[in-house]
């Protein structure tokens, strides 16, 4: 993937507003079965030792997991983990009742048989709506271990994570959250590396030497008053062929994509910076606050001021 495409991916990852947290380290003895409902969080599990079966809601065939495996559910799919398929499930939430959400606890559960240990946590995205990368991710990403151990990159992260979980030092929770954020980015790197060259859709557009340049320009300067003709010139194409090629690869016309990206940037600015709504509007290319407010509400369903209050609550 060329440098401009990496810059665009970095922008999109930053715009997610990712926050990670650890639920628990679990030691589970057969027979056992944990259930997690579907929600807006992207859950993950790392099998530290032993084996498990994963059943995802809506899929008939369970997936066998081994020591060193990592599974991530980008869209928060409901799922169950068990020592063998068909066990009656116990909600993980029920087992964690009464435990502090701010501290990762050791959870023991099961019937006393063969043990499986794993780490469970989640990622929450502040800006999930309309993100061009999240919409491409599958219901589950499975990173397989290597010889019963996690891949080297994952093993290093988990060792530091385990050290921090046991620590009582100040800033522990912040470091754990940042490590989980890194874990998600590492998983995305693995998934992206597995995608075929010139894959269809937005990823294929990033790799396209013409359209990728136009996407990079929009991401670099979202406040610029881009026209289709100017973007076409950047891509070294005439206007009509550029518009057709962009729409075919990205799935929407150039200016529609630009508007969607501007709203992502605006959402982040409203959440993280103490700018007035008029200043945010100017940053993303709107000359008037009313025009920006109308576009923002059309994209997100709420006015900018209400959006900011919701995020501050």
- Residues 139-159 have pLDDT tens digits of 999 999 888 888 888 888 888
Q: How far apart are CA 220 and CA 156, in angstroms?
A: 33
Element (H, E) at 150: none
**Mean pLDDT (the chain, rounded):** 87
Domain boundaries, the chain: 16-194, 201-312
- Compute the C-alpha angle 219/224/225, nearest 5°: 125
Query: Which CATH code, of 3.40.50.2300, 3.40.50.300, 3.90.550.10, 2.60.120.280, is assigned to 16-194?
Result: 2.60.120.280
Strand partners, 120: 24, 45
Query: Which CATH code, of 1.10.10.60, 1.10.760.10, 3.20.20.60, 3.20.20.70, is assigned to 201-312?
Result: 1.10.10.60
User: SS3 of 118, please?
Assistant: strand
pLDDT at 155: 85
- Residues 86-142 have pLDDT tens digits of 899 999 888 887 655 555 567 899 999 999 999 888 888 877 666 777 878 889 999
Q: How far apart are CA 43 and CA 140, in angstroms?
A: 10
Closest by alpha carbon to 56, among 76, 28, 83, 32? 76
Task: Write down the pTM of the prediction.
Answer: 0.77
Average the pLDDT over 11-39 and give the result. 86
Task: Characterise 99 by phi-psi region: left (phi > 0), alpha (psi -120 to 50), beta (else).
Answer: beta
- Residues 183-226 have pLDDT tens digits of 888 888 888 778 776 566 787 788 888 999 999 999 999 999 99
């Amino acid at each position: 993937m060329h440098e401009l495409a990496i810059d665009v991916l970095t922008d999109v990852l930053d715009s997610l507003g990712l926050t990670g947290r650890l639920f628990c380290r679990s030691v589970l003895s057969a027979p056992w079965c944990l259930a997690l409902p579907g929600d807006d969080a992207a859950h993950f599990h790392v099998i530290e030792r032993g084996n498990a079966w994963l059943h995802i809601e809506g899929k008939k065939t369970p997936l066998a997991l081994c020591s060193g495996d990592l599974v991530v559910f980008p869209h928060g799919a409901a799922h169950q983990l068990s020592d063998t398929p068909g066990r009656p499930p116990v909600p993980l939430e029920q087992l964690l009742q009464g435990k502090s959400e701010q501290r990762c606890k050791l959870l023991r559960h099961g019937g006393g048989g063969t043990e499986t240990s794993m780490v469970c946590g989640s990622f929450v995205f502040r800006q999930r709506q309309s993100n061009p990368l999240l919409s491409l991710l599958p219901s589950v990403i499975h990173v397989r271990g290597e010889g019963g151990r996690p891949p080297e990159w994952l093993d290093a992260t988990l060792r530091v994570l385990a050290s921090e979980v046991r620590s009582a030092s100040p800033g522990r929770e912040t470091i754990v959250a940042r490590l989980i954020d890194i874990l998600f980015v590492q998983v995305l790197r693995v998934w992206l590396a597995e995608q075929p060259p010139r894959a269809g859709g937005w990823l294929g557009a990033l790799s396209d030497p013409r359209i990728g340049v136009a996407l990079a320009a929009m991401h670099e300067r979202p406040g610029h008053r881009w026209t289709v003709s100017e973007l076409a010139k950047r891509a070294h194409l005439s206007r009509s062929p550029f518009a057709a090629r962009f729409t075919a690869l990205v799935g929407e016309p150039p200016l529609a994509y630009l508007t969607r990206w501007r709203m992502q940037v605006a959402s982040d600015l409203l959440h993280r910076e103490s700018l007035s709504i008029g200043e945010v509007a100017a940053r993303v290319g709107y000359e008037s606050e009313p025009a920006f407010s109308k576009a923002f509400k059309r994209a997100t369903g709420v006015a900018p001021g209400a959006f900011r209050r919701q995020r501050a609550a």
